Amino acid sequence: MADFKTAQIFSDNMVLQYLKPINVFGTGVDGTVVTVRITGDEAASASVVVRDGRWLAVLPPQPAQDCVELIVGDGKDTVTFKNVAVGAVWLAGGQSNMEFELQNCTTGKESLENDCPNVRFYYTQKMSIADESFFEHEKLSQWNLFEDKESAKAWSAVGYYFAKELAEEWGMTVGIIGCNWGGTSASAWMDRTYATGETSVYFEEYDAAVAGKTIEELLKDYRDYQEYHANWERKSAEYYTTTPDPTWSGCLEYCGENKYPGPASPLNPMSPGVLHESMIKRIAPYTMTGVIWYQGESDDHRPEMYYTLLNQMIRNWRDDWNDPELFFVIGQLPMHRWSADEDIKHWCLIREAQARTAKTDRHAALAVLTDCGEFSEIHPKNKELPGHRFCLAALDGYYECALLEEDEIATNNPDAYQVKWNSDSADIFITTANSLEIKGESGEIHGFEIAGADGVFVPAQAEIADREAWNCEIGSEVIHVSGVNEPVAVRYLWTNYTDDITLFDCENGVPLPPFRFFKPQYKG
């Protein structure tokens, strides 16, 4: 039988979610009654009987407050968690740009030296398989305060700046649950039962790769790869630091084959379903507001599937948390292209899927990051601006959601929502928080392309139409786009990378996201 204990995510200094029923859970001896009690402004308690070695008690919603205690006991053993705050809890999920540490970002050193935010952080144990070693390492996981600088150095930079701004805006403690892993597909974060239809290929490929192998063989395959790759990375660092004008082909010649991301294995965090099993299941259903999600780079080989994959994962997590309104703020991928790469426009499809998800899901919002990229650098080091955009999207989305009608979706991002086709042009209707402004020395709008009957896109001329001529009120604009006769398609910023972004909302500084429109009868 399991001993009585709470899940590891419950510790001193934790942040519990305010104004929502609070799930407290763990393991214990069947038939034992577990009692949970919270002190504070509205002291409350709940009891539950352990079934099948597990228990989950639900405390009533609490107001935001600091310095309370959470007391949990089974009649024999009692644990008291001290310095607990009740505030806003968000999960920082995704891959390496969410994982990117505060100490490594542009403003990280200054923030670590000077900031005093009301932010706390829990990092979910980063191991890909729940073996004995996993549980020993997990015992070290705990909620940390920013005052612990050694811990804060390794916090998610995007998660930190998001939480810092949110804490200042709302005057309460914000807790971030770091749950991310560089290089991962969204499929790594979901249970295979949710990958239905076209996305089942992720799990089918894995099944084919591991077929006929024992679990011992699969574990050995990955551990052999880890040893090989560690040596490869050592030689790679040696090559790039000692070679003038290094190249990727030169690196491969010097180091040998790059076998990343390694073989299919339950030890490989890149394998589908693995991190859902070893990380998500360890923290769900810890009560929280929602998720800030920065991911998509590692699904660019199947960009046409990403809308389905992302929505399946979101549904999976909402079921895991038993919260159909669990809010998702989705980071739209910034501009990126490696210097040697052709612009095959696959990131455009990922961005489109992210925007479409936010538009069609009332409990989701889009953080527009298109101007947050760096050429030939997949890890832009300025994470303060992305953190701000995530916070802005959360404030405009989740925190304004209660004011909306049932069928409305909140957003203050500028957004193209309609097109009027003319014989020699197209008029694009835009919603904005206030109005659009053109940035750049030329004062011209760049990034529009238009196509005629031949379907070939060419650079277009674009201008903001006269507001009075269209009877536009504050909060809407029309952009007139021309360049071909009888246009059938128009698109904006439809490229993997550009640093020439000129259209921004004048009130909140958010860039107009990429988009494309086709005439209904045009098949593209």
Burial classification of residue 51, based on how many CB atoms lie within 10 Å of its CB (0-12 exposed, 13-18 middle, 19 or more buried): exposed
Secondary structure class of 388 (helix, strand, coil): helix
Q: How confident is the model at residue 1 (pLDDT cuts 50, 70, 90)?
A: very low
Rounded Cα–Cα distance for residues 493 and 335 (Å): 9
Q: What are phi and psi of 366, to 5 degrees?
A: -110, 125
Element housing 223 (H / E): helix 215-242
In this predicted structure, what is the pLDDT of residue 523? 63
In 446-494, alpha helices (H): none
Per-residue pLDDT, averaged over 258-273, amounts to 96
Arithmetic mean of pLDDT over the chain: 94
Q: Are strands 425-431 and 476-482 parallel, antiparallel or unpaired?
A: antiparallel
For residue 210, give both structure tokens. 């591991």
What span, in angstroms and rounded, lies between the C-alpha atoms of 123 and 110? 22
For residue 65, give the 3-state DSSP assignment: strand
Tokens encoding 400: 């304004």
The continuous run of DSSP H or E covering 364 comes out as: strand 364-368
Of the pLDDT bands very low, low, confident and very high (cuts 50, 70, 90), residue 130 is low
DSSP code of residue 12 = T
Largest CA-CA distance found in the chain, in angstroms, rounded:
81
- Distance in angstroms (rounded) separating the CA atoms of residues 210 and 221: 10
- Residue 70 CB-density burial (10 A; 0-12 exposed, 13-18 middle, 19+ buried): buried
Q: Which amino acid is at 476?
A: S
For residue 411, the model assigns a pLDDT of 56
Q: Is the pLDDT of residue 154 over 50?
A: yes
Residue 321 to residue 23: CA distance in whole angstroms: 10
Domain boundaries, the chain: 85-192+273-401, 198-255, 415-518
Q: What angle do CA 301, 305, 306 make, to 5 degrees?
A: 85
Cis peptide before 303 (omega within 30 of 0): no
Per-residue pLDDT at 406 exceeds 60:
no
CB-based contact 229:263 (threshold 8 Å): no
- pLDDT at position 409 is 44
Count of residues in the chain: 524
What's residue 235's pLDDT? 96
Rounded to an integer, the average pLDDT of 377-387 is 97
Q: Would the pLDDT of 141 be above 80?
A: yes
Strand order in the sheet with 415-421: 415-421, 425-431, 476-482, 461-464
- Kindly provide the residue ranges of all beta strands, DSSP E only, lying in 138-289, ordered along the sequence: 143-145, 174-180
- DSSP structure string for 180-205: E-TT--GGGGS-GGG--GGGGHHHHH
CB atoms within 10 A of CB 330: 27
Check whether 349 has a pLDDT greater than 80. yes
Q: What average pLDDT does this structure show over 482-509? A: 96
Distances (CA, A) of 123 to 155, 283, 447: 8, 10, 40
Question: Is the whole-model pTM more than 0.85?
Answer: yes
Within a 10 A sphere around the Cβ of 468, how many other Cβ atoms?
Answer: 7
**Whose structure tokens read 């650079």?**
459
Cα separation, 96 vs 510, whole angstroms: 23
By three-state DSSP, how is residue 462 classified? strand
Q: What is the pLDDT of residue 468?
A: 76
Summarised one tens digit per residue, pLDDT across range 43-58 is 999 999 999 999 999 9
Measure the CA–CA gap between 187 and 193, rounded to whole angstroms. 11
* 85-192+273-401 under CATH 3.30.200.20, yes or no: no
Helix axes 215-242, 248-255, angle to 10 degrees: 120
Instruction: Give the whole-number percent of the chain exceeding pLDDT 90.
Output: 87
| Structural contact between residues 288 and 179, judged by C-beta atoms closer than 8 angstroms | no
Are the C-beta atoms of 218 and 210 separated by less than 8 Å?
A: yes
pLDDT(375) > 80: yes
The answer, yes or no, to whether residue 376 has pLDDT greater than 80, is yes
Whole-Å CA distances, 398 to 88, 171, 365: 12, 17, 8
Angle, CA of 33, 36 and 38, to the nearest 5°: 165
